[in-house]
Structure 1
Amino acid sequence: MVLVVQYNTFFLTATMGNTSSQPKNKTGKKVVSQKIENAKKTNILSLTEHKLEEIPEEVFHLTSLRTLDISKNKLQRLGNIGRLTELKTLNCDDNSLHSGAIAPISKLAKLQSLSLGKNRLEDPANQSFPTLPSKIKTLKIHHNSFSSIPKQIVDPKLRLLEKLDLASNNLASIPAGISNLVALTELILDNNVIVSIPNELGQVKKLKALSLRNNYMQVKSTSFTDANPQPIPASVFEDTLLIDLNLHGNPMTNTQLNTFEGFDAFLERRKKKKTTALTGGALVSMSVCGLE
């Protein structure tokens, strides 16, 4: 019995004696206030993982703020975030925002990077999805509940959009309006229910990377006709800059993919890129699209 008491005393001393080693509650109001104060100098504010149910009113007075990270909280609305007209980067990942709640984002005219992953954004049947700022270059809306892509995301005004991430929604198709995104270089559509790609994607001339992992594209017959079109049109292979295509998890084989019209042009472009990489250029994954 004595040994047990001595052991417990030692254990408590070891774990409690040095209070400076204990983890601090970074969700406290004092910590938030200090971060807001520092942001007045840096124009950068991170309030991630603070269990916030609303954005502190003091944040909306930081009118020179350039970067705001409010991810991993419990936010259901964005309050007066429209006042932060100098914002260029906004991360709202992992909250409880619905489509109507993000309306103030349309006022952020200088915004270039917007992330809304892991929220409660749904179909825009009620037209609640906002108009997006025209200067956006990166848009991430993965892990939401869209079954169709809102027209605001393929708005012709988004002529600077380079990266679009719509992974892990419930998308069954891509709208013809995708051709409006003339600067798009990377499109991520993993973990949806897509069965085919529209011809209009071939009009996105700068497209270099297309990820379609874990979708439902399949080949019933390699005798392609109007009634049995190939899931990825020839224009996507021939008329874009595509060099990185990921089809892992789709019910098709590498052998079937090789029968697609235009696929040879894609392979030739990748071959040239590999040669460039070997002589000091940027390295590109040369696996054959994730298929067996």
Structure 2
Amino acid sequence: LLASVLVRCQAPLEPVEEEEGEETNITTVVTKSDPVLCPPECSCTAEGAVDCAGVDLTEFPDELSDKTRQLSLQNNKIEEITVEHISHLHQLETFNLQNNWLTTDLEDEGFEMLEQLAYLYLANNKLTSAPKVLPPSLVSADFAANQLVRIYPYTFGHKPKLSVYLHNNKLTDAGLPDNMFNASNNLEILTMSSNFLRVVPKSLPSNLYRLHLKSNKLEKIPAGAFDNLSNLRELYLQNNLLSNEGMDNETFLKKLHTLHMYNNLLERVPRGLPRRAKTLMLLHNSISEIGRNDLILLYTLTELNLSYNKLTSSKVHREAFRKLRILEKLDMSGNNLHSMPLGLPRSLHILEIKNNQLNSIPDGALTGMEKLRKLILSDNELKLNSVYQGAWMELSALATLDLSGNQLSHIPSDLPESLEYLYLQSNRISTVPASAFEGTPNIKGIFLR
């Protein structure tokens, strides 16, 4: 569209005397801007944003301006991109092609010409291989949920600011080059979950902060696999085939603070765990024992999840938790515990031991837990005489107590004053005395059904 601007000239700084009867002239300046090229199905702005999302396109749109900076083509049915389609888009910074029908290999030369491209979104297509070359300006590349089986050395190499998302593809060890991230050392986030990898990729970027390798086929982590990743803080290895035999004692880095290893084949707490770990997720394994020194070096741990393993009361050493002095959350649900373990950390804020066979809380098991605010003991076999006298009163900060799904015949009589929510449904309670909650002035919710 032609735009015209009328500009009224200002009077000069020094007034000029007019001759009598002479009219004052008004100068009009007309400027013309180039028309904004825009495909008919799309909306475009003068700033270079072109939005063609969700308009049922089956082909790449024509009539795109050379000045296009943001191109949104997600949620269409586009099957092919050629060099001719994009070679003139030298100012393109963001290119979104998520959720289309791209099945053919992308032509390498086209993307290489996009010298300003920073964000490339190609998730949810049917690509079998990534482009051989992508521009070094790239900041984020999302190829998730395709059918990728191969990555090339220069696909992600030589990109100093890159983050890469490759989850939900069909990548195998053979499809990854050894130097896949060569000269991309500043890459901080790498997501390769839900593929078919059996070993940790080699030559990972040294500046990596977060690594997602969950839901692969990893069987072992060899010694030195993470040695050059001095900045790695978060490692996600859940839903693999890892066993204790498949991990070297020095596998993990000392600075790692979050480690997820749930749903693997572990039978013991792994050795060589990072000493600075804050979160350790070991749920859904086959761990049957916690020895006296299995957790001795994890003194910075604040959250530990051991739920849904094969732990029994006799195989949990009473001094196993002695060094976990700042642990705030512990989950031991879904095991085979008959008695609440002794020696649990007094620093706990949340303790969950639901869905076991608990029929005993022995004397002193809850002593000193003055910070405990939430205690979940549902779906066990607890009776009134299963709990030592005065146990609940010791929990002076307790706000939530869940005893549902047990065998209680009466409401416990020694509940703490701090209690706000009490869950007692699915027990054997038939009557509620009028004085049952006189000692709990802060109560907000009582659940009996």
Give the Cα separation in 2 of the matches to 1:58 and 1:195. 47
Matched, 1:175 2:321: no
Q: Which amino acid aligns with 1:247?
A: L
Aligned counterpart for 2:361 among listed residues 231, 238, 262: 231
Superposed displacement of residue 86, structure 1: 2.2
Give the structure 1 partner of residue 421 of structure 2.
286
In structure 2, what is the equivalent of residue 149 of structure 1? Answer: 290
Query: Is 1:252 matched up with 2:392?
Result: no
CA distance in 2, matches of 1:97, 1:153: 18
Aligned CA distance change for structure 1 residues 52 and 289 (closer, same or farther; 3 Å): farther
State the match for 2:33 in structure 1: none
Specify the alignment match of 1:91 in structure 2: 236
SS in structure 2 of the partner of residue 81 of structure 1: coil
1:73 alignment partner in structure 2:
216
Answer whether contact 1:82 1:105 (CA < 8 A) is retained. Answer: no
Q: Give how far 1:243 is off.
A: 1.4
In structure 2, relative to structure 1, the CA distance for the partners of 1:132 and 1:175 (3 Å cut) is: same
CA–CA distance in structure 2, aligned partners of residues 116 and 131 of structure 1: 14
* Partners of 2:153 and 2:263 in 1: CA distance: 23
Unaligned runs of 5+ in 2: 1-57, 59-75, 80-98, 102-124, 127-145, 164-183, 401-418, 428-449
* Equivalent pair of 1:112/1:138 in contact (CA under 8 Å): yes
Give 1:152 deviation, angstroms: 5.0
> Identical aligned pairs, as a percentage?
23
Residues 189-215 of structure 1: per-residue CA shift (max 9 Å, x gap): 0100011123312xx221111111110
Q: Match for 2:199 among 24, 45, 54?
A: 54
Match of 2:280 in 1: 139
CA 52–285 in structure 1, closer or farther in 2 if over 3 Å, else same: farther
The CA deviation string for residues 26-48 of structure 1, in whole angstroms up to 9 with x for no partner, is 54323998567634334111111
Residue in 2 that maps onto 1:161: 301
* AA of the residue aligned to 2:300: L
1:262 partnered with 2:384: no
Alignment of 1:124-135 (within 5 A): 129-135=270-276
| 1:21 corresponds to | 100
| Cα distance in 1, alignment partners of residues 219 and 249 from structure 2 | 13
Larger RCO: 1 or 2 (CA < 8 Å, sep 6+): 1
SS at match of 1:269: coil
Q: Which runs of 4+ in 1 moved over 6 A?
A: none
Residue matched to 1:242: 372
CA pair 18-90 structure 1, distance change in 2 beyond 3 A = same
Identify the residue that residue 328 of structure 2 maps to in structure 1: 185
Q: Distance in 2 between matches of 1:35 and 1:117?
A: 30
Change (3 A) 1:43 1:175: same
- Between stretches 80-89 and 70-79, larger displacement belongs to 80-89
Amino acid of the structure 2 residue aligned with 1:166: L
CA distance in 1, matches of 2:363, 2:192: 44
Q: What is the letter of the counterpart of residue 398 of structure 2?
A: R
Kindly indicate whether the alpha-carbon contact (under 8 Å) linking 1:214 and 1:248 is maintained by their aligned counterparts in 2.
yes
Amino acid at match of 2:390: E
- Structure-2 change in CA distance of 1:239 and 1:17 (3 Å): closer
Q: Deviations over 1:1-52 (max 9, x none)?
A: xxxxxxxxxxxx9xx9643623332543239985676343341111111221
Q: Distance in 2 between matches of 1:200 and 1:131?
A: 23
Radius of gyration: which is bigger?
A: 2
Counterpart for residue 221 of structure 1: none
Post-superposition offset of 1:235: 4.7
| Aligned counterparts of 2:299 and 2:231: Cα–Cα separation in 1 | 20
Tell me: CA distance 1:64–1:161, structure 2 relative to 1, closer, same or farther (3 Å).
same
TM-score for both structures, normalised by structure 1:
0.73
Cα shift at 1:234: 3.6
| Residues 187 and 207, structure 2, Cα contact 8 Å, conserved in 1 | no
Partner Cα separation in structure 1 for residue 424 and residue 234 of structure 2: 32
Higher helix share: 1
Preserved contact between residue 246 and residue 290 of structure 1 (Cα < 8 Å): no
Q: How many residues align?
A: 246
After superposition, the CA RMSD in angstroms is 3.2
Q: Contact 2:374/2:399 (CA < 8 Å) preserved in 1?
A: no
For the residues of structure 1 that align with 2:273 and 2:375, how far apart are their CA atoms?
A: 28
**Partner deviation per Cα, 1:131-168 (whole Å, 9 max, x = no partner):** 2221011111111111102555421x321111110111
Residue 206 in structure 1 maps to residue 337 in structure 2:
no
